[in-house]
Structure formats: C-alpha cells, structure tokens
Amino acid sequence: MLRVGLVGLGRIARTFLSLRTAEDDAHWQVVGVLKRNVAAADKVDFPVVDTLAGIGALAPDLLIDFTGPSALNAYGADLLRLADVWTVGAAALVSTALERDLREVAGQTGHRLRLLPGAIGGLDALSAMAVDPDSTVSILACTASNPVASGVIDDARSVVGRSRGVNVIATAAFASRGLDRTPVDHVAVGDGEQRRFAIEADGAYGSFRVCIDPVTDAERGTMLVAASAIAALRNGYRPIWVG
C-alpha cells in the first residue's frame, strides 16, 4: 500500500480526493496533509499538520504538492528529503538556486521530483521529439490578464518568472529544451475568458501538435490538474499502462 501525503488542501487537492475510487483505495492511501494554516474547517479523514516534522512523522512514501509554486519555493528541498515529490508547481523551478538545491538533495537521498502534466498533455511525445537534437519546439500560452504579458515571443524562463498561472509552460519546457531554450508566445486573455495552451514540435522524427483548453471550476479549480495526479497514481498499480 503506497502511503501518500498531500501538500496543500485547496480546491485542487479536494478535487483530487473526490476523484478517488474503491480500486484506488486498495492500492494507495492518503496518510495526511501538510497545510500552512490548520483550521477547524479542515474536515478530512486523515491528519492535517502544519510542520515538516508533522508530515514526516506520518512516514509518507510520496508527497503530492497541490499548492502551485509556493510550497516548492518555501521548503522544496526539505520535502524532497522526506520522500519522492510530485508537484503541479513547476513554475517554482524558474529559480536556479532552488533547482540546484533539489538536484543536490535528490543525489543525496535518491528521492526524485516529478513534474505532473497538470493542465497539458502530450509531454511523453514532446520528450521523444526532444531526443532529436535538431528538433524545434514552441509554446503558445493564452492565460489570464497579466500586465507584462504582451504576446512577444520570449524564452520560457523569462515568461514564467514574470507571470501568473504558467506552470504548464515550465513543465513543457522541462520536457523539451529547458527553460532557457524553449520559446513561448504568451498572450493575455481577459478575466473569465478561456485559457489555452498549445505546443508544437518539428524535427527529423516528425511533427507534433497538441492544444488544450482546460476547464476551471469556481469550486473545484482546474480539474484536469487534479485528474493528472489520479492518472499518475493509477499507472503505478495497473499491470498494463500507457506512457
């Protein structure tokens, strides 16, 4: 039985919990959640703690971070010392110091950080295309209004470093050429308008296109982000799996 600890108990984490099935419960269990401010309203069927020592005492095999970049920025290396970490907050890795610390801890402990697909798909094909050193990749990101989002093509590190809601960009960049070598066309959309992410890659192996319009619910957040964690956990126990 895989022991899973959560980081964060916001909309996406609660959607993740609601998506569990009886089959899931037979293979993995949530043993606790790390939350910065524990409140009486945090009614779940496992402990809610507010310290790294508290979540560590629950002996998780895996920590899934649903907070976005905030938890990795605050104590990413400390989380990785406890267990493998899966995160939806890839944008935190715009910090070269954080990435260096995470790589150092991974080398010391054998634990690894996994960037979950979140609100995008096709990352396996994107990584395969990147095996060709001469392939090219580009990302189009249409996200909520941002005062510096101009539609001008820039590298992924620059876009992620100055923008909100762009974990998808960071994840796709890590799957391909890295933050400094992946061009991004970042277009601002009005509040309430549909977000869109599109990735294109071309090379000797072929051409690749993926486009997704993630649905965000006021109460459940971006549901595809929560579902990506469920799908990853299910691949861990299925006798036949894809990807």
Q: DSSP assignment, residue 68?
A: T
Q: Which residue has 């809601």 as its token pair?
A: 165
Two tokens, residue 89: 């907050």
Q: How confident is the model at residue 58 (pLDDT cuts 50, 70, 90)?
A: very high
Higher pLDDT, 215 or 21: 21
Count H helices, E strands: the chain? 9, 13
Measured on CA atoms in the order 35, 8, 76, 58, is the torsion positive or negative? Answer: positive
Q: How confident is the model at residue 192 (pLDDT cuts 50, 70, 90)?
A: low
Q: Give which of 174, 159, 157, 85 is closest to 123, Cα–Cα.
A: 174
Of all residues in the chain, the percent with pLDDT exceeding 90 is 61
Q: What is the CATH number of the domain that holds 146?
A: 3.30.360.10
Shared domain for 199 and 143, answered yes or no, is yes
The C-alpha torsion from 145 through 213 and 99 to 87, rounded to 10°, is: 120
Number of domain units in the chain: 2
Shared domain for 100 and 143, answered yes or no, is no
Q: DSSP assignment, residue 195?
A: P
Q: In this structure, which amino acid lies at residue 160? A: V
- Alpha-carbon distance of 124 to 127, in angstroms, equals 5
Shared domain for 99 and 174, answered yes or no, is no
- Asked if residues 163 and 148 have their Cβ atoms less than 8 Å apart, the reply is yes
Rg (CA), the chain: 18
In the three-class reduction of DSSP (H, G, I as helix; E, B as strand; rest coil), residue 109 is classed as helix
Of all residues in the chain, the percent with pLDDT exceeding 70 is 93
Residue 242 falls within a domain, yes or no?
no
Shared domain for 60 and 160, answered yes or no, is no
Shared domain for 40 and 142, answered yes or no, is no
pLDDT (0 to 100) of residue 41:
63
How far apart, in Å, are the Cα atoms of 146 and each of 15, 70, 139, 202, 216?
27, 19, 17, 30, 18
Shared domain for 113 and 224, answered yes or no, is yes
Shared domain for 9 and 64, answered yes or no, is yes
**Which residues constitute the domain of residue 133?**
123-213
Two tokens, residue 100: 């260096």
Report angle CA 25, 228, 113 to the nearest 5 degrees.
Answer: 95
Q: Give which of 79, 86, 30 is closest to 53, Cα–Cα.
A: 79
Higher pLDDT, 68 or 145: 68
pLDDT per residue as tens digits for the range 1-35: 999 999 999 999 999 999 999 999 999 999 999 99
pTM (2 d.p.): 0.90
pLDDT (0 to 100) of residue 175:
92
Residue 243 falls within a domain, yes or no?
no
- Alpha-carbon distance of 66 to 209, in angstroms, equals 27
Q: What is the CATH number of the domain that holds 61?
A: 3.40.50.720
Q: DSSP assignment, residue 192?
A: T
Q: How confident is the model at residue 242 (pLDDT cuts 50, 70, 90)?
A: confident
Report whether pLDDT(145) > 60: no
How far apart, in Å, are the Cα atoms of 65 and each of 14, 30, 40, 43?
12, 13, 22, 19
Higher pLDDT, 106 or 36: 106
Q: How confident is the model at residue 234 (pLDDT cuts 50, 70, 90)?
A: very high
Q: Provide CB contacts within 8 A for 95, sequence distance 6+.
A: 73
Q: How confident is the model at residue 150 (pLDDT cuts 50, 70, 90)?
A: low
